[in-house]
């Protein structure tokens, strides 16, 4: 059928955050809401002739319905072909992999990442460009600008596409190719890691437990860990993707992945545990009764990259988000390679990778990845760790403590205050900004403030500038306190406090991070007046 043009009126709240547009499902189900945003994407990217689009999501509630709408709109907007994951499923890393493998014009990923799902939960949509990475700010700002003036959208009135069977279908002259969502990604992983060594490790009685959290990585984990690496079937838990993630919160941290944590800290614990999030781009790494912070994980992967086939040629550089600890910086210095400090948001790593400046990237928010794609990649990080464990034949804890002995320990923690009133959160940030002059040089016991600022970043590739990326309080001994409002939530505000202190003394490396950082925690609460201003007496999540 011919495409139809539907009159519409703008919504004022379609500004993408660090990972696209995220709202509650009922918001997306408003008349024309989804269509307005999708048309704004298509208007902004100026679809060229014979273009191919990748489409899929994490399987959360409203995923299938949104895919059918987007397919009909893609046909009406001139796409020649859409590659869509079977069942509407594509992990975010797999989507990036497919965009790059088939050299498509880009892709639309439907996910709210680690946010809860369900009829009243969160939904999200973001556009990834031809390099496989999230659209840069200049594109997301243009999409937002278009969404504020949109007057019509184009859509074909056709029947729904059968998503549960692979094959090619045609709607309004456009080919819809329903593809295996796992195959290309699994093949890429096998090209990077020594699957033979990992198979031998697992066959020798090394036990693992991976928690897919009823999210998108279940099918990927079963194919890779069970079918290709020979792990027992019960090595993968919560493996069936569910629209509401089994009423859970698909965020792989010590609080929300408590079921896995209890197993790894329990009797007869496996040697290795890991979890991934809603769309598969985050990871949590655990050893037997031991948690590896994401900051340390990035540093350890970099220090051991020479043990992994896909990285034995060496690393061009490392990049980390500003709130991530400086542990990776120490490894980079030893390796004689650059380490870049960027704002939070994976899109900031894309330019560096495309320019060949960095190989490994990471964020403290459980995201790690490399230039094999342009997204963070949860299962990739798990396989990287398994490859290292297979070669070094040590425990997770043993590898971490040996790393600290060589490089020193960047003691690190993040305190999240979730879903607090936005005005209270903004009030805390304003107080901090207003205190810069009095804080500089201030003495807090043995700690003296060296500088404080709101982090800004100038991209070394294209010269673009990003400001307002988080308040930094840096002390003369290198300790840091960082305050930042998260851009990934949909309800209230999430205020995050990041705390870091360097400890070179091996005899103190065993200390619990909260104990070692107690002084910085007290200072952070004192200068922010957080408890008084928000009414919260403790964080929602500590990692």
- Cα(185)–Cα(383) distance, integer angstroms: 13
Two structure tokens written together for 105: 């014009």
Backbone angles phi, psi at 182, to 5 degrees: -105, -35
* Secondary element (H or E) of residue 477: none
Whether 113 sits among the annotated catalytic residues: the reply is: yes
Task: Write out the DSSP string of 298-353.
Answer: HHHHHHTGGGSGGGTT--S-EEEETTS-THHHHHHHHHT--EEEE-SSTHHHHHHH
The catalytically annotated residue of 96, 113, 321, 501 is 113
Residues 542 and 514: beta-carbon distance below 8 Å: yes
For residue 106, what are the β-bridge partners? 53
For residue 361, what are the β-bridge partners? 319, 369
- Cα(335)–Cα(135) distance, integer angstroms: 31
Q: What is the CA radius of gyration of the chain?
A: 23
* Secondary element (H or E) of residue 462: none
Describe the crossing of helices 518-528 and 422-434 by its angle, rounded to 10 degrees.
100
Q: Residues 185, 187, 192, 196: is their CA dihedral positive or negative?
A: positive
Task: Write out the DSSP string of 205-256.
Answer: T--EEEE-TTSTHHHHHIIIIIIIT---GGGEES-S--TTGGGS----STTT
Q: What length is written for the chain?
A: 543
Contacts with 468 (C-beta within 8 Å, 6 or more apart), sequence order: 454, 456
Residues 495 and 483: beta-carbon distance below 8 Å: yes
Collapsed DSSP state (helix, strand, coil) of residue 87: strand
Residues 126 and 66: beta-carbon distance below 8 Å: no
Residues 304 and 406: beta-carbon distance below 8 Å: no
Which of 261, 210, 276 lies closest to 58, judged by CA?
276
Backbone angles phi, psi at 278, to 5 degrees: -55, -45
Buried b (16+ CB within 10 A) or exposed e, 188-213: bbeebbbbebbeebbeeebbbbbbbb
- Cα(90)–Cα(159) distance, integer angstroms: 22
Backbone angles phi, psi at 64, to 5 degrees: -65, -45
Give catalytic residue positions: 113
């Amino acid at each position: 059928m011919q495409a139809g043009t539907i009159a519409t009126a703008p919504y004022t709240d379609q500004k993408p955050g660090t990972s696209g547009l995220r709202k509650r499902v009922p918001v997306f189900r408003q008349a024309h809401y989804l269509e307005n945003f999708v048309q704004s994407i298509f208007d902004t990217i100026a679809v060229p002739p014979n273009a191919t689009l990748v489409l899929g999501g994490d399987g959360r509630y409203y995923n299938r319905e949104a895919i059918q709408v987007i397919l009909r709109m893609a046909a009406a907007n001139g796409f020649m072909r859409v590659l869509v994951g079977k069942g509407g499923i594509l992990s975010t890393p797999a989507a990036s992999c497919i965009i790059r493998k088939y050299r498509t014009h880009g892709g639309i990923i439907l996910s709210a990442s680690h946010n809860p799902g369900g009829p009243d939960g969160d939904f999200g949509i973001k556009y990834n460009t031809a390099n496989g990475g999230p659209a840069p700010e200049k594109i997301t700002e243009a999409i937002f600008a278009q969404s504020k003036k949109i007057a019509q959208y184009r859509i074909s009135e056709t029947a729904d596409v059968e998503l549960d069977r692979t094959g090619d279908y045609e709607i309004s002259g456009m080919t819809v190719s329903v593809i295996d969502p796992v195959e290309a990604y699994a093949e890429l992983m096998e090209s990077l890691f020594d699957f033979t060594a990992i198979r031998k490790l697992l066959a020798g009685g090394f036990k693992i437990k991976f928690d897919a959290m009823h999210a998108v990585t279940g099918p990927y984990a079963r194919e890779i860990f069970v079918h290709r690496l020979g792990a027992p079937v019960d090595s993968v838990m919560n493996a069936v993707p569910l629209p509401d993630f089994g009423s859970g919160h698909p965020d792989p941290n010590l609080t929300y992945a408590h079921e896995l944590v209890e197993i790894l800290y329990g009797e007869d614990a496996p040697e290795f545990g890991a979890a991934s999030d809603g769309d598969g781009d985050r990871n949590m790494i655990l050893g037997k009764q031991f948690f590896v912070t994401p900051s340390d994980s990035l540093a350890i992967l970099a220090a051991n990259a020479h043990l992994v086939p896909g990285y034995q040629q060496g690393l061009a550089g490392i990049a980390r988000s500003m709130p991530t600890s400086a542990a990776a910086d120490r490894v980079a210095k030893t390796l004689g390679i650059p380490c870049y400090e960027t704002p939070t948001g994976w899109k900031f790593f894309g330019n560096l990778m495309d320019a060949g400046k960095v190989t490994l990237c990471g964020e403290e928010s459980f995201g790690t990845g490399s230039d094999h794609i342009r997204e963070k990649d949860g299962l990739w990080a798990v396989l990287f760790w398994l490859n290292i464990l297979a070669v070094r034949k040590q425990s997770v804890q043993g590898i971490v403590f040996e790393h600290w002995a060589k490089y020193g320990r960047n003691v690190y923690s993040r305190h999240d205050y979730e879903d607090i009133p936005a005005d209270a959160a903004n009030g805390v940030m304003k107080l901090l900004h207003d205190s810069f002059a009095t804080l500089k040089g201030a003495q807090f016991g043995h700690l003296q403030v060296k500088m404080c600022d709101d982090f800004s970043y100038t991209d070394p590739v294209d010269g673009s500038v990003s400001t307002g990326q988080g308040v930094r309080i840096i002390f003369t001994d290198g300790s840091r306190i960082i305050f930042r409002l998260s851009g990934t939530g949909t309800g209230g505000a999430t205020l995050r406090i990041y705390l870091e202190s360097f400890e070179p003394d091996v005899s103190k490396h065993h200390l619990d991070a909260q104990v070692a950082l107690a002084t910085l925690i007290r200072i952070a609460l004192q200068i922010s007046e957080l408890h008084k201003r928000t009414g919260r007496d403790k964080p929602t999540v500590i990692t």
